[in-house]
């Protein structure tokens, strides 16, 4: 099965928390009207698709992920009419919109749960998962998602006189997706928003949604991934070229299953796509594994973690894509790293205990993690945008926004967008005490120092640089969908790789270290600079030191792209000289 237009394969996704982006009516809360007024900005930086975090009616105890009505807009954000206008105006600018589909659980204030708790004979009782007593031997692998904030996954409801299941907070009871009626409700929800013009859904907690919840027979799915396939079938029938964009944070050996394919690593990704066929579940997977290893590479200033994670990831089937990111709007989760590596990341980027959360994550934005070092921030984004997949950025990261560690939990990275040096950073005309959250106002990341207006007028700003990078990447489809190979280099701080497709060949070299670095690469074609300031020159054959691909890759024929990965005949040696955190992208002639 294939989405008619695979637009998502080479798109830049931009995540927006509506309440923190732009206030259009001056009440201190971001809204759809304010968001619509800022669409020209999104167009100017090359955003292809906006991902809206939940804006539905909600008690808002978990940033909107406790939904009480799937068919509306929270009154503080506007109306359905405002939403339709936003989608229409975005489409006029060539920007698509996807919305969060939060159907692993609901709010405990949702009418379904209210009916379920009040009447054991209600059909809604079976929408949720109940038991009369606590399990004697709870499954340690199905513990609370938020350790330290929730102690258990079963909570007692006085009205229902029974325990209900929740992997998230106690006010977010899990839906029983094994119930046919629940799956029909999910289809109705998707159909409603597709009718309003969205281009798909970011499927929240996809891994947990299809789990055998509570280990009960009543929640066991005969074919867990069949739920995701059914969702994909429905979206393609009803939404033309709409997509499913999944939060699937699972072990590497299982990730490929969410594309709808087998999981084994193939010796060649192009061959793998031919063998695996087309993706028939999720179109796009958030690449949590790459994120953790990429941050480890930045912490160690070494390339090896990037090489390692690219080998861990399953190949993409036709129509499947990774969404690569450095930071999202949650904690930076390093839980998939070995314990020693987790500690390395914490010591580098979260040295204070207050910067950490849940024992596995960091509650900081990228710019302060990297000490506001412009060279290092640019290196990180250049690396991200050059890796196989498509990029995801969170509002404000394009200007280097900071965080507010005085705010609780993950809210620290969800402060209002900083538009200008005016009051409240241009986010709202309301009194500061009426803002949904305070704007970062102090220090080097305060809104007077970091804002859109100032950076728009500065050709050397991070914003202007980011816009150029994003536009360039859109002109290099081989990065998004091509086959890749990694060069061996003598310097452990240098990561070099190339991407090949029918569109052409691109190579990129990145120095992750704080010292100058040199790498000599054998390139099949003369390089022409695309991006970056590293110097490069041709060298004589005897000076070539860095082989085309690792010995491991040669032995297994892994990523022997375009038929020339192991064939050095006709290759030229090129020496790249980079300053601290330097990089360069080149097109091969």
pLDDT for 51-97, tens place per residue? Answer: 999 999 999 999 999 999 999 999 999 999 999 999 999 999 999 99
pLDDT value at position 261? 72
pLDDT at 453 over 90: yes
For the chain, give every residue range classified as CATH 2.60.40.1180. Answer: 482-588
Q: How far apart are CA 331 and CA 465, in angstroms?
A: 26
Written as six digits, the tokens of 410 are 């993950």
Exposure letters 319-356 (e unless 16+ CB within 10 A, then b): bbbbbbbbbbbbbbbbebbeeebbebbbebbbeeeebb
Residue with the larger pLDDT of the pair 513 and 315: 513
The CATH number of 7-103+180-472, from 3.20.20.80, 3.10.20.30, 3.30.450.40, 3.30.1490.190, is: 3.20.20.80
Distances (CA, A) of 353 to 397, 462, 531, 541: 23, 29, 38, 52
What CATH class is the domain 111-165? alpha beta
Closest among 482, 485, 481, 512 to 498, alpha carbons compared: 485
pLDDT value at position 544? 47
pTM for the model stands at: 0.94
pLDDT for 520-530, tens place per residue? Answer: 999 989 999 99
Longest CA–CA separation in the chain, Å: 82
Closest among 467, 392, 412, 418 to 38, alpha carbons compared: 418
Share of the chain above pLDDT 90, in %: 87
Mean confidence (pLDDT) of the chain = 92
pLDDT-derived band at 233 (thresholds 50, 70, 90) equals very high
pLDDT at 257 over 90: yes
pLDDT-derived band at 519 (thresholds 50, 70, 90) equals very high
463: helix, strand or coil: helix
Distances (CA, A) of 572 to 290, 394, 548, 557: 31, 40, 11, 21
pLDDT value at position 278? 78
Q: Which residues contact 33 (CB under 8 A, 6 or more apart)?
A: 24, 25, 78, 82
Percentages helix, strand, coil for the chain (3-state, rounded to 5) are: 35, 20, 45
- Of the listed ranges 23-27, 177-181, 444-448, 562-566, the one predicted with least confidence: 562-566
Q: How far apart are CA 51 and CA 244, in angstroms?
A: 12
Residue-level length of the chain:
589
pLDDT value at position 239? 79
pLDDT-derived band at 412 (thresholds 50, 70, 90) equals very high
pLDDT value at position 541? 60
pLDDT value at position 563? 30
Q: Please compute, for residue 520, the number of CA atoms within 13 A of its CA located in the half-sphere on the CB side.
A: 13
Q: What is the separation of C-alpha 346 from the centre of its chain, rounded to a whole number of angstroms?
A: 20
pLDDT-derived band at 138 (thresholds 50, 70, 90) equals confident
pLDDT value at position 141? 86
pLDDT value at position 95? 99
Residue with the larger pLDDT of the pair 498 and 547: 498
pLDDT at 547 over 90: no
pLDDT at 448 over 70: yes
14: helix, strand or coil: strand
- Helices marked H in 475-547: 477-481
Q: How far apart are CA 379 and CA 581, in angstroms?
A: 6
Average pLDDT score over residue span 533-547: 73
25, with CB counted inside 10 A (0-12, 13-18, 19+), is middle
Instruction: Judge contact between 327 and 362, C-beta under 8 A.
Output: no
pLDDT-derived band at 169 (thresholds 50, 70, 90) equals very high
Distances (CA, A) of 286 to 202, 291, 296, 312, 323: 9, 9, 18, 15, 5
For the chain, give every residue range classified as CATH 3.20.20.80. Answer: 7-103+180-472
Q: Please compute, for residue 558, the number of CA atoms within 13 A of its CA located in the half-sphere on the CB side.
A: 18
Average pLDDT score over residue span 396-424: 98
Closest among 194, 185, 205, 187 to 246, alpha carbons compared: 205
**Catalytic site residues?**
204, 247
pLDDT value at position 36? 99
pLDDT-derived band at 551 (thresholds 50, 70, 90) equals very low
389: helix, strand or coil: coil
Instruction: Judge contact between 490 and 519, C-beta under 8 A.
Output: yes
Residue with the larger pLDDT of the pair 554 and 230: 230
Task: Report the range out of 133-137, 429-433, 549-553 with the highest average pLDDT.
Answer: 429-433
pLDDT at 546 over 60: no
Average pLDDT score over residue span 216-235: 96
pLDDT at 273 over 80: no
pLDDT value at position 203? 99
Instruction: Judge contact between 494 and 512, C-beta under 8 A.
Output: yes
Q: How far apart are CA 290 and CA 306, in angstroms?
A: 8
pLDDT value at position 550? 40
pLDDT-derived band at 105 (thresholds 50, 70, 90) equals very high
Share of the chain above pLDDT 70, in %: 91
pLDDT value at position 226? 96
pLDDT-derived band at 562 (thresholds 50, 70, 90) equals very low
For the chain, give every residue range classified as CATH 3.90.400.10. Answer: 111-165
Domain 482-588, CATH 2.40.10.10 — does that match?
no
pLDDT-derived band at 2 (thresholds 50, 70, 90) equals low
pLDDT value at position 556? 32
Lookup result for tokens 């450095």: 326
């Amino acid at each position: 099965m294939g989405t008619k237009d695979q637009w998502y394969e080479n798109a830049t996704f931009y995540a927006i928390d509506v309440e923190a982006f732009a206030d259009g009516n001056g009440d201190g809360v971001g809204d759809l009207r304010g968001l619509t007024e800022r669409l020209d900005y999104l167009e100017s930086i090359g955003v292809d698709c906006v991902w809206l975090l939940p804006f539905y009616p909600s008690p808002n105890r978990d940033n909107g992920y406790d939904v009480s009505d799937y068919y509306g807009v929270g009154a503080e954000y506007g109306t359905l009419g405002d939403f339709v206008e936003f989608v229409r105006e975005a489409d006029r600018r060539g920007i698509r919109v996807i919305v969060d589909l939060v159907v692993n659980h609901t709010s405990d204030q949702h009418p379904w749960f209210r009916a379920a708790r009040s009447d054991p004979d209600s059909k809604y009782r079976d929408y949720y998962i109940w038991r009369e007593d606590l399990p004697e031997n709870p499954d340690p692998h199905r513990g609370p998602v938020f350790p330290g904030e929730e102690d258990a996954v079963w909570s007692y409801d006085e009205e229902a006189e029974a325990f209900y299941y929740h992997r998230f907070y106690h006010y977010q009871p899990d839906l029983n997706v094994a119930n046919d009626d629940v799956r029909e409700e999910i289809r109705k929800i998707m159909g409603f928003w597709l009718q309003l013009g969205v281009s798909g859904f970011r499927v929240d907690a996809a891994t947990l949604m299809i789990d055998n919840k509570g280990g009960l027979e009543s929640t066991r799915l005969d074919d867990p991934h069949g739920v995701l396939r059914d969702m994909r079938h429905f979206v393609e029938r009803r939404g033309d070229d709409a997509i499913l964009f999944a939060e699937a944070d699972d072990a590497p050996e299982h990730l490929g299953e969410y594309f709808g394919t087998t999981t084994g690593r193939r010796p060649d990704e192009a061959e793998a796509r031919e063998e695996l066929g087309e993706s028939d579940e999720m179109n796009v997977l958030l690449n949590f594994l790459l994120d953790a290893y990429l941050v480890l590479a930045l912490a160690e200033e070494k390339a090896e973690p990037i090489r390692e994670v690219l080998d861990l990831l399953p190949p993409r089937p036709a129509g499947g894509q990774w969404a690569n990111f450095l930071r999202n709007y949650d904690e930076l989760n390093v839980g998939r790293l070995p314990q020693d590596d987790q500690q390395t990341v914490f010591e580098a980027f979260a040295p204070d205990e207050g910067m950490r959360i849940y024992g596995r994550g960091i509650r900081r934005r990228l710019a302060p993690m990297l000490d506001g070092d412009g060279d290092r921030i640019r290196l990180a984004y250049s690396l991200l945008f050059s890796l196989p997949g498509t990029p995801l950025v969170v509002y404000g990261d394009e200007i280097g926004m900071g965080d507010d560690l005085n705010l609780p939990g993950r809210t620290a990275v969800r402060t209002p967008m900083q538009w200008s040096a005016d009051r409240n950073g241009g986010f709202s005309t309301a009194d500061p005490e009426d803002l949904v959250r305070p704007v970062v106002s102090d220090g080097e990341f305060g809104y007077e120092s970091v804002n859109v207006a100032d950076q728009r007028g500065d050709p050397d700003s991070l914003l202007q640089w980011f816009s150029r990078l994003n536009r360039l990447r859109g002109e290099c489809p081989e990065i998004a969908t091509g086959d890749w190979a990694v060069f061996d280099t003598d310097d452990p701080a240098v990561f070099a790789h190339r991407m090949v497709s029918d569109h052409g060949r691109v190579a990129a070299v990145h120095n992750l270290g704080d010292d100058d670095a040199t790498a000599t690469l054998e390139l099949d074609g003369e390089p022409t600079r695309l991006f970056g300031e590293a110097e490069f020159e041709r060298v004589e054959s005897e000076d070539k030191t860095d082989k085309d691909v690792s010995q491991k890759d040669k032995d297994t024929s892994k990523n022997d792209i375009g038929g020339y990965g192991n064939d050095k005949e006709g290759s030229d040696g090129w020496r790249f000289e980079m300053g601290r955190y330097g990089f360069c992208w080149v097109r091969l002639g």
